[in-house]
Structure 1
Amino acid sequence: MDEIVRQAMAKWPNVPHCYGWLALDRRGQWRMRDEQAQTEGTAGDPIRHTALIAFIARNYTSDDAGRWYFQNGPQRVYVSLAYAPFVVRLTWDATANDGRGAPVLTDQLGKTFVPQACLLDEDGSVAFVGTKAEGEANAPLALLHDHDIDLLTQVSDLAQAFEVAETADNTADAKAAVRLHWCNGDSGDSLPLATVHAGTLPQTYGFERDPQAPAD
């Protein structure tokens, strides 16, 4: 968090929170939702200003209730999430793995996202479970940008893993044995893979998709 933000919070500790005006879409774009967008239920306008995007990224965090927000000076601007708190892009690092290459995930904040598991929902959306930070109750969840699903199928055995997951015995041991293998052959890593329902993810991973202002 920016030091100037910390100072503003200390100077004005009781500024009312803001709800509904900022959103994170399924492609990792921050969107400004004015009164008209909120009334009409539209996505809002993408934020293009580079410095503002960087400012949001540096001051993006969550509260104890799993509501993600941008700390704008002394004010919390709560974020409506189209799917998850993070959206990742997939690239291929040809120099990793002793030249064999490796996939790299980068979130909308510009940070490397280290996956611990892969999820595939009922609509074909792919999400990754990250590493739980010290002191955090839940692991972070990131949606894979839909433009990168084709690349994922090229650098992993997503289709085969999904088929195994769909046909596995409905037991915990069988489901836990399903793996998504990265890279080619035996090189690289593998991740647990599970099929999920998108609507269950907020409760499972402890976040709110649409924070609401408390009733008066």
Structure 2
Amino acid sequence: MDQSVKDAIARWPDVPAVYGWLSLDGRGRWRLHPQGQATAGGAGESITNTQILDFINRNYEHDDAGRWYFQNGPQRVFLRLDAAPYVLRLSDDSHGLLTHTEKAVTSVSAWWLDDAGQLYAMTPLGPGIVLDRDLSALLENLTTRNGASLLDSLGPLPADETLQVTWPDIYPAAPLQTITRKDIAQRLGFDPNPGPPQ
């Protein structure tokens, strides 16, 4: 978090949080909702200014309740997550994953494959969905415990079973499980659409 943001919080600790103005889509794009209606759905407007995007990326956090927000000076801007708190892509050298905020993923403790074919990972930064355009390339790098390609080994995986997978020399073995899309937020521990307290 930027020092100027920390200083603003210290000066004005009681600024009310806002809801409904910002969302993160499934491709890692920040979207502005000028009418404050993100919690009701809708695509919103793309944010394209690189300075604003960098500022949001540096000041993106979450609270203990799994609500993700952008700390805009002294004010928390809670946001709607269309897929997960992070959108993960292959690094430029294809030796690991990066978040949509350009942070390196140093490890993965668990993988989930949902009923729509999307792959999720639990990272030290928080849970993320693998960007769809990088999914095939990532799956080609993952292997089972015996060294076989995950793509060659992946068949129907029963809901109550796990498969240990690794990305050799990048991420050690971690369990891969299936999950239904409706259970993702609860299982991965985030609130996809926080609203104001009632």
Q: Shorter-chain TM-score: what band?
A: 0.7 to 0.9
Residues 140 and 151 in structure 2, CA contact (< 8 A), matched pair in contact too: no
The answer to whether the aligner puts 1:46 opposite 2:32 as a matched pair is no
Q: State whether residues 118 and 130 of structure 2, in contact with CA within 8 Å, keep that contact through their aligned partners in structure 1.
A: yes
**Same amino acid, percent of matched pairs:** 38
Offset at residue 150 of structure 1 (A):
2.1
SS where residue 31 of structure 2 aligns?
Answer: strand
Provide the secondary structure at the position in 1 that maps to 2:154: helix
Q: Find the counterpart in structure 1 of residue 133 from structure 2.
A: 147
Q: Is the 8 A contact 1:161 1:180 kept in 2?
A: no
Q: Give the CA RMSD over aligned residues.
A: 2.5
Structure 2: how far apart are the matches of 1:39 and 1:119? 26
Q: In the alignment, is the contact (CA less than 8 A) between 2:20 and 2:36 conserved in 1?
A: no
Q: TM-score, normalised by structure 2?
A: 0.85
SS in 1 for 2:196: coil
Shift in CA distance, 147/36, structure 1 to aligned 2, threshold 3 Å: same
Q: Where in structure 2 are the equivalents of 1:118-133 lying within 5 Å?
A: 118-131=111-124
| 1:39-62 residue CA offsets vs partner (Å, 9 max, x unmatched) | 983211121111111111111111
Superposed, 1:156-175 pairs within 5 Å as 156=142, 157-163=149-155, 165-166=157-158, 175=161
2:96 is equivalent to residue 104 of structure 1:
yes
CA contact (8 A) 1:103 1:155 kept: no
4+ residue runs of structure 1 moved beyond 4 angstroms? 36-40, 186-189
* Runs of at least 5 residues in structure 1 that lack an aligned partner in the other structure: 94-101, 134-139
2:77 matches 1:81: no
Asked if structure 2 preserves the Cα contact closer than 8 Å seen for 1:104 and 1:112, the reply is: yes
The size of the alignment, in residue pairs, is: 191
Tell me what 1:202 maps to: 185
Q: Deviations over 1:56-77 (max 9, x none)?
A: 1111111121100011001000
Query: Could you say what secondary structure the match of 1:61 adopts?
Result: strand
Gaps of 5+ in 2: 143-148
Q: Which moved more, 1:32-41 or 1:121-130?
A: 32-41
* 1:160 to partner: Cα distance: 3.6
1:81 and 1:210 in contact (8 A); partners too: yes
Check the 8 A contact 1:37/1:43 in 2, yes or no.
Answer: no
TM-score (norm 1): 0.78
Bigger mean CA offset, 186-195 vs 206-215: 186-195
**Which residues of 2 match residues 6-85 of structure 1 at below 5 A?**
6-35=6-35, 38=38, 41-85=41-85
The whole-number CA distance in structure 1 between the counterparts of 2:14 and 2:33 is 24
Q: Are residues 40 and 9 of structure 1, via their aligned partners in 2, closer, same or farther at CA, if it must alter by over 3 Å?
A: closer
CA distance in 1, matches of 2:109, 2:40: 38
Which residue in the other structure is 1:117 paired with?
A: 110
> Which range moved further: 7-16 or 143-152?
7-16
Aligned to 1:99: none
Asked if the contact 2:164/2:175 (under 8 Å) is kept, the reply is yes
Cα separation, partners in 2 of 1:187 and 1:203, compared to 1, 3 Å: closer
Amino acid at match of 1:165: L
Which of 167, 177, 182 aligns to 1:182? It is 167
Whether the 8 Å contact between 1:161 and 1:193 is mirrored in structure 2 is no
